[in-house]
Amino acid sequence: MKIEQLMALYGENGALLEELYEKFKKDPNSLDKEWSLFFQEVETNGVYSQNGSNGNGNGNGKSAVSTSFTDAQAGSIREMGIINLLNAYRRQGHLAANVDPLGISQPNRKFIESKLGNLTAADLDTVVDTQNPSLGRAKLKDVVAWFEKAYCSTVGYEQYYLVNDEEREWLQHQIESAEYHAPLPKSIRLRLFEKLFQADHLETFLAKKYVGKKRFSLEGGESMIPMLDTIVEEAGRFKMDGLVIGMAHRGRLNVLVNVIEKPASLVFAEFEEKADKSAGSYADVKYHLGYSNSKMTSSGKEVKLSLAFNPSHLEAVNPVVTGSVRARQEQYGDADRSKFMPITIHGDAAFAGQGVVAETINLMNLDGYTTGGTFHIVINNQIGFTTLPNESRSTLYATDLAKGYQIPIVHVNGDDPEAVYRVTKLGMEYRQKFKKDFIIDLICYRRLGHNETDEPAFTQPKMYSIIKNHPPTAQLYEKKLINDGDITGEELDFIKNGSAQGLEDSFQRAKEQDIKMKVDTMQGVWAKYSKEPLDSGTATSLLAEQIDRIVKAITTVPDGFTPNPKLVKLLQSRKEMAEGKASLDYGMAEALSFGSILENGFRVRLSGQDSQRGTFSHRHAVLVDINSGAKYVGLNHISEKQARAEVVNSSLSEFSVLGFEYGYSLSDPSALVLWEAQFGDFANNTQVIFDQFLSSSEVKWQRMSGLVILLPHGYEGQGPEHSSGRIERFLQLCADNNMQVANCTNAAQYFHLLRRQILRNFRKPLIIFTPKSLLRFPGALSPIDDLLKGAFREVLPDQAEIKADKVEKVVFSFGKVYYDLLKYREENKVQSTALIRVEQVYPFPAKEIQEVLKTYKNAKTFVWCQEEPKNQGAWTFVRDRFEDLLPNGTKLIYAGRKESASPAAGHMKVHTKEQEQLVSDAYSV
């Protein structure tokens, strides 16, 4: 008999069975063969009748169709019924759990009750073998009671959808075990109380001392503090080295003081805005600032805790934190990823609403991005600003999207700190054992408005009338501890007084000692880098023997490895480039640059869509064996002492991947970290990372990044998309020497620019508008000699043999249009025009341009020629800067496309006509 058939005999499926039986009676052929046989068997053998139960039935006394079975059948039916019931607890128990401290969403017991309703008193007294070591052989009613406690008390567990049996069964085993539910030792309970009290007290203290000041109170969700404290303690027990936390505004000050142990006096200084002028300052609000500290855990292991700086943009910090952990794991050789772990803390509304949540979770099992599991906490206060869950998500739980990623989720009632403790320990064990993400959905409430000046009763009057009368978690727990009997009021008062006094003392100290805001920067791995200045003249050339070693590694494959025949040719042609028989293209220049950087001991990490091969099939950093599909990275076979290269094909995401690489670059300044967009256009999918992090993190948070962004750009008739990387947008973000923006018109320039980026003693993001057609364009190739000498030149002088004093016009350009200008000049034998390539437009190379202007003393006309429409490209940015440099009375003249709402024309013919026009304009204006 099939299991489904047996299970169908149980519970609400009895009605279905009845229906099927009716059908069978009318026409046996109308049913599936299995069912037809089943009813035939029942009718023929007389074990299925409509004449009432024989007392050994399945307990479904309500069904109009009753059953009578042989003893063996009845036994297995009952067994299946029990399994079905227990599985119902495992599957749907969470719906019946009491997880909402406010009682607004009531436990839904419908499903469980429908199963329980089928049990007779006799069934409940039956002794069953539970296969559970904690229960052994027990009466069914005791088993049910145990499962009620395990699955339907103050925690709702969602693990049933895990397809990996080992994981699911391990979780169920834990949840159903007696040890898991054993009473907690007194020391733990006191610690939970202490952390709860501190969480509560900090908020009320700040409310009193800084009336009306925004702090995004944690009140209502105080249990997060004992939860994080437990994570830190568990990290110590697991001998972990570091935890990196990403979180938004809610409860951030509380986490800083009560978990990371940032001195409260520093937070008070921030409230009072007491700056120490000599030490510089952060230029951001206090509830966005990060902090790092080492904390000794009770197991004797010190754990480094870091809270990442983050902008207001909710959830954007998630990939940054995961990337930063990945970098630490690589740096410190944490091969099994058990030493460093990201913790991301989310709001309920943001978790459900922000796409970057899914984009980041999607990285979790990818070789190039995994961190061995993120610990997620959702501060589920059942509201987002003024918006209720039914207005802000289409799912039952805020966390539902994570189910598709096979992440276990527990929903825990924030008013039960002991349950919080248990699920947190469970999560840490799971993460360390299975190296996967885990989510705790902390169901709580928000005692105040969105911020401290907000009136929540305007929009949620009912909810807030409940909250008004709802005691804080610390008070509820205090009562429980005293009722339980082994903890006295005096013991709790001791904790309370000690914590309160500690805070008061810090407050007084901050006042008396005039403690000022503190800026920590350039510490640890950053200590050897300088903040300023933008030094020039970094030597980036190579020695011939260095090149030989690299060339050998990147142009040969191991015995038995068979690349595609076309790639064998490519490797051969790269060898010839190195031997001086041909000029180098960008792909080879990049490979040599990476190889030399690795040899210098710096890691190289490049990620982006299809980056291993390269969108334009120009890179082939990772070769694939045509027979086995095995991959080979020649860059990792240069020498024994070299650093490792990691060239990764990314998921089809920009936001999370760029965020990840930015985070990586923050934690490992000694790695050349690059992100490549498939086409420059797609960079706008990750605008937040450019605006809120890359361009502004130095000024806001004193956090540097040497990340390189490769944005394929160039007008080649491919239409509105795939033409522009939006130069203008990046230039608009440029100020205070925050970034570098470049476009290399030959392979050697690209080689030197990449090397300059890593060899400098400071780190600034570098945006490179990279070529498409120029990748193999003969004019843009470079002889190998150009790698053995020279350096990146921010401005390239005219290389033609023209007489400087005959030059009447100077045309400046940025990028590949130079080659169109050059072609025109040659074809039209123009003698009086010099063509100057600006290769780095920010920081603006004013000095170098002045030198050029000095060379062409007789020039009277100065032109900026660009491919991009007038409202785009570098035009408006350079126009103002040239004004200060050009001779009095002269202005920079524009030659380029007219203004346009779209970046490029849709048709090749239009493109070509426009391109010809703008080039001839450069000569005729």
- Give the binding site for Mg ion (CB under 5 A): 347-348, 381, 384
**Least separation in angstroms between CB 441 and Mg ion:** 11
Residue 686, C-beta contacts closer than 8 angstroms, at least 6 positions apart: 654, 655, 657, 658, 659
Interacting partner of 385 out of ligand TPP, Mg ion, none (Cβ under 5 to 8 A depending on kind): ligand TPP
**Least separation in angstroms between CB 695 and ligand TPP:** 17
**Least separation in angstroms between CB 350 and ligand TPP:** 3
Spell 77-88 as b/e; 16+ CB within 10 A means b: bbebbbbbbbeb
**Least separation in angstroms between CB 440 and ligand TPP:** 15
What helix, strand, coil percent values describe the chain, rounded to 5? Answer: 45, 15, 40
**Least separation in angstroms between CB 221 and Mg ion:** 9
- Which helix (H) or strand (E) segment holds residue 767: the answer is strand 766-770
**Least separation in angstroms between CB 383 and ligand TPP:** 6
Q: Which is nearer to Mg ion, 101 or 384 (CB)?
A: 384
Binding residues among 424-453 for ligand TPP as defined by CB under 6 A: 446, 450
Q: Tell me the number of residues near ligand TPP by CB under 6 A.
A: 15
Binding residues among 312-341 for ligand TPP as defined by CB under 6 A: 312-314
**Least separation in angstroms between CB 218 and ligand TPP:** 9
Residue 508, C-beta contacts closer than 8 angstroms, at least 6 positions apart: none
Structural contact between residues 815 and 865, judged by C-beta atoms closer than 8 angstroms: no
Instruction: Give the up-direction half-sphere exposure of residue 570: CA atoms within 13 A in the CB hemisphere.
Output: 20
Quickly count: other Cβ atoms within 10 Å of residue 184's Cβ. 15
Q: Which is nearer to ligand TPP, 312 or 564 (CB)?
A: 312
Residue 758, C-beta contacts closer than 8 angstroms, at least 6 positions apart: 597, 600, 602, 672, 706
Contacting residue, 90, 115, 250, 764, with ligand TPP by CB under 6 A: 250
User: What is the rounded CA–CA span in Å between residue 522 and residue 326?
Assistant: 20
Phi, psi of 770 (to 5 degrees): -100, 155
Structural contact between residues 815 and 875, judged by C-beta atoms closer than 8 angstroms: no
User: What is the rounded CA–CA span in Å between residue 795 and residue 849?
Assistant: 7
**137-139 and 127-129 beta bridge pairing:** antiparallel
Interacting partner of 312 out of Mg ion, ligand TPP, none (Cβ under 5 to 8 A depending on kind): ligand TPP
**Least separation in angstroms between CB 381 and ligand TPP:** 5
Interacting partner of 350 out of Mg ion, ligand TPP, none (Cβ under 5 to 8 A depending on kind): ligand TPP
**Least separation in angstroms between CB 841 and ligand TPP:** 30
Q: Which is nearer to ligand TPP, 385 or 405 (CB)?
A: 385
Coil, strand, or helix at residue 66? Answer: coil
Amino acid at 601: G
User: What is the rounded CA–CA span in Å between residue 718 and residue 727?
Assistant: 17
Candidates 41-49, 376-384, 493-501, 763-771; binding stretch for ligand TPP (CB under 6 A): 376-384
**One character per residue 48-67, x = contact with ligand TPP (rule: CB under 6 A):** --------------------
Closest residue by Cα to residue 3 from 67, 83, 57: 83
Q: Which is nearer to ligand TPP, 189 or 250 (CB)?
A: 250
**End-to-end Cα distance, the chain:** 90
Candidates 184-192, 238-246, 270-278, 346-354; binding stretch for ligand TPP (CB under 6 A): 346-354
Contacting residue, 232, 303, 349, 463, with ligand TPP by CB under 6 A: 349
**Least separation in angstroms between CB 384 and ligand TPP:** 3
**Least separation in angstroms between CB 346 and ligand TPP:** 7
Contacting residue, 206, 269, 317, 383, with ligand TPP by CB under 6 A: 383
Does position 219 interact with ligand TPP (CB under 6 A)? The reply is no
User: What is the rounded CA–CA span in Å between residue 562 and residue 630?
Assistant: 9
DSSP structure class, residue 693:
I
Q: Which is nearer to ligand TPP, 450 or 755 (CB)?
A: 450
Q: Which is nearer to ligand TPP, 648 or 688 (CB)?
A: 688
Q: Which is nearer to ligand TPP, 349 or 878 (CB)?
A: 349
Candidates 26-34, 383-391, 401-409, 852-860; binding stretch for ligand TPP (CB under 6 A): 383-391
**Least separation in angstroms between CB 88 and ligand TPP:** 31
Interacting partner of 313 out of Mg ion, ligand TPP, none (Cβ under 5 to 8 A depending on kind): ligand TPP
Q: To which residue do tokens 């947008």 refer?
A: 729
Candidates 53-61, 343-351, 430-438, 480-488; binding stretch for ligand TPP (CB under 6 A): 343-351
Residue 521, C-beta contacts closer than 8 angstroms, at least 6 positions apart: 280, 531, 702, 703
Contacting residue, 381, 678, 738, 782, with ligand TPP by CB under 6 A: 381
Q: Which is nearer to ligand TPP, 74 or 218 (CB)?
A: 218
Q: Which is nearer to ligand TPP, 328 or 446 (CB)?
A: 446
Interacting partner of 162 out of Mg ion, ligand TPP, none (Cβ under 5 to 8 A depending on kind): none
Q: Which is nearer to Mg ion, 348 or 668 (CB)?
A: 348
Q: Which is nearer to ligand TPP, 172 or 460 (CB)?
A: 460
User: What is the rounded CA–CA span in Å between residue 12 and residue 21?
Assistant: 15
Structural contact between residues 541 and 789, judged by C-beta atoms closer than 8 angstroms: yes
Contacting residue, 347, 368, 663, 680, with ligand TPP by CB under 6 A: 347
Interacting partner of 314 out of Mg ion, ligand TPP, none (Cβ under 5 to 8 A depending on kind): ligand TPP
Does position 384 interact with ligand TPP (CB under 6 A)? The reply is yes
Cα of 122 vs its chain's centroid, Å: 54
User: What is the rounded CA–CA span in Å between residue 112 and residue 86?
Assistant: 10
DSSP structure class, residue 584:
B
Q: Which is nearer to ligand TPP, 250 or 620 (CB)?
A: 250
**Least separation in angstroms between CB 394 and ligand TPP:** 16
Q: Which is nearer to ligand TPP, 86 or 383 (CB)?
A: 383
Q: Which is nearer to Mg ion, 250 or 262 (CB)?
A: 250
Binding residues among 674-733 for ligand TPP as defined by CB under 6 A: none
Cα torsion 519, 525, 528, 530 to 10°: value is -40
Residue 898, C-beta contacts closer than 8 angstroms, at least 6 positions apart: 869, 870
- Which helix (H) or strand (E) segment holds residue 346: the answer is strand 340-347
**Least separation in angstroms between CB 466 and Mg ion:** 16
| SS3 letters across 267-313 | HHHHHCCCCCHHHCCCCCCHHHCCEEEEEECCCCCEEEEEECCCCCC
Coil, strand, or helix at residue 409? Answer: strand
Residue 54, classified by CB atoms within 10 Å of its CB into exposed (0-12), middle (13-18) or buried (19+), is: middle
Q: Which is nearer to ligand TPP, 312 or 858 (CB)?
A: 312
User: Rounded to the nearest 10 degrees, what angle do helices 317-331 and 655-667 cross at?
Assistant: 40
Contacting residue, 171, 307, 325, 350, with ligand TPP by CB under 6 A: 350
Query: Which residue number has the CB closest to ligand TPP?
Result: 347
- What contacts 24+ positions apart, CB below 8 Å, involve 848-857? 848/793, 848/794, 848/795, 849/795, 849/812, 849/882, 849/885, 850/885, 851/795, 852/795, 852/797, 852/810, 853/810, 853/885, 853/886, 853/887, 855/797, 855/804, 856/804, 856/807, 856/810, 857/804, 857/805
Q: Which is nearer to ligand TPP, 346 or 619 (CB)?
A: 346
Candidates 86-94, 380-388, 501-509, 832-840; binding stretch for ligand TPP (CB under 6 A): 380-388
**Least separation in angstroms between CB 383 and Mg ion:** 5
Q: Which is nearer to ligand TPP, 250 or 816 (CB)?
A: 250
Residue ranges that bind ligand TPP, judged by CB under 6 A = 250, 312-314, 347-350, 379, 381, 383-385, 446, 450
